[in-house]
Amino acid sequence: MHSRSFAVRARLGGRTAAHVAAPRGTLEMMSLPTTDTMPRTGPLVDTFGRAANDLRISVTDRCNFRCTYCMPAEGLAWLPKTELLTFEEMARLLGMFVGLGVRSLKVTGGEPTIRADLPRLVEMFRQVGPALDISITTNGLLLDTLAAPLAAAGIDRATVSCDSLLRHRFAEMTRRDALERVLMGLRAAEAAGLVPIKINTVVIGGTNDDEVTAFATWARETGYEVRFIEYMPLDAQRAWERDKVVPAATILEAIGKVYPLTSAAPDHEPATLYRFADGAPGTIGVIASVTEPFCDTCNRLRLTAEGQFRSCLFALDETDLRGPMRDGASDDELALLVRQAVWGKWAGHKINDIDFVQPARSMSMIGG
């Protein structure tokens, strides 16, 4: 009985909320495709034929690091607790997404490990999706104590962010002197079986680009998959500069001179993967979001910590799921909102276009 009013209110709610408002004029210029031909069953598709089945749920917007490329030293205006989705709300929405064909879940944030009682939430996720591939993206600081409980609760794999193997530089980039503890967390993650371990390394020109070969050496020694991520215009300070983006091709060339690489089969994540030609363990990945966007094969969906649904990391609009859910919407009504939002997904981000508009939310507020 609520469908129509929920649909309209939710879409407008998502579009007009002050914290996600796009610059003046932008929303007026965006037109959504008609939903007349939108499939109401089957895979979650958009008008470009892409099917989405990979969901990221941000379980908190808060963080215990202050990475320079992500947020300012003083942090951000954190969401009040009442605005965060509860465990029950997240589990319910996950069930709805599984019904829509989601097959993999990434638990992220902010820093997901600082959400109190995270293992209990993961247990609830696991009950909802016994066959889901569930991984976590974390800065690793708390993995020394949390890796085992998270594995027991149902996390399959961990991706740990690490931007430098040098203590002083790690401290500069994260504003926390925590490299040693993150390395302990990585050992705990391995011991708990959260493998294969993936490492996310954001490469910033003039800051840590001289370390890419050292990271490759580390991959060979540990067997980790080190994924180099191009620096994206998603920092809260809006200090991103194109000159500081180190193209994936440059990274691969530098590594290839020391350790020749061969292409490896892709997994379901966006990194392009390489193995060492001499057969050494470890994998090198590059996520070339800026220089070689992979929008045409994007299968990702995102749910923010306060229940806003996003069909693209760079989307300028969002669909509120929390409001309708708290107002009594059924799963079918929520699923319809999601289908409509995915149907309206744009072809791709415009980082390289003159009319690129950085989303109002930064990476940690979206859930990377």
Given 60, 68, 108, 135, the residue binding ligand SAM (CB under 6 A) = 108
Given 54, 61, 111, 306, the residue binding ligand SAM (CB under 6 A) = 111
Q: How far apart are CA 63 and CA 70, in angstroms?
A: 11
Contacts with ligand SAM in 171-200 (CB under 6 A)?
200
Report the relative pairing of strands 261-263 and 272-276 from DSSP bridges. Answer: antiparallel
Q: How far apart are CA 199 and CA 218, in angstroms?
A: 11
Do residues 325 and 88 make contact, with C-beta atoms less than 8 angstroms apart? Answer: no
Q: Please say which residue, 10 or 188, places its beta carbon nearer to ligand SAM.
A: 188
Report the relative pairing of strands 225-230 and 44-45 from DSSP bridges. Answer: unpaired
- For residue 55, the 8-state DSSP code is E
CB hemisphere CA count around 197 (13 angstroms)? 29
**Which residues sit opposite 230 in a β-bridge?**
203
E strands in the chain: 44-45, 51-52, 54-58, 104-108, 133-138, 157-161, 198-203, 225-230, 261-263, 272-276, 283-287, 300-303, 308-310, 319-320
Given 55, 59, 65, 300, the residue binding ligand SF4 (CB under 6 A) = 65
Given 122, 192, 202, 313, the residue binding ligand SAM (CB under 6 A) = 202
Choose the contact partner of 226 out of ligand SF4, ligand SAM, none; CB within 5 to 8 A by kind: none
Given 10, 59, 63, 182, the residue binding ligand SF4 (CB under 6 A) = 63
Given 32, 45, 47, 66, the residue binding ligand SF4 (CB under 6 A) = 66
CA distances from 312 to 16, 71, 147, 342, 359 (A): 18, 20, 29, 9, 10
Q: Please say which residue, 236 or 254, places its beta carbon nearer to ligand SF4.
A: 236
Q: Please say which residue, 87 or 228, places its beta carbon nearer to ligand SAM.
A: 228
Interface with ligand SF4 by CB under 6 A: which range of 104-112, 186-194, 293-301, 322-330? 104-112
Question: Does 138 interact with ligand SAM (rule: CB under 6 A)?
Answer: yes
Interface with ligand SAM by CB under 6 A: which range of 107-115, 145-153, 249-257, 326-334? 107-115
Distance in Å, CB of 233 to ligand SAM, minimum: 7
Question: Does 70 interact with ligand SAM (rule: CB under 6 A)?
Answer: yes
- The CB density around residue 173, as the number of other CB atoms within 10 Å, is 23
Q: Please say which residue, 304 or 364, places its beta carbon nearer to ligand SF4.
A: 364
Count of residues engaged in binding ligand SF4, rule: CB under 6 A: 12
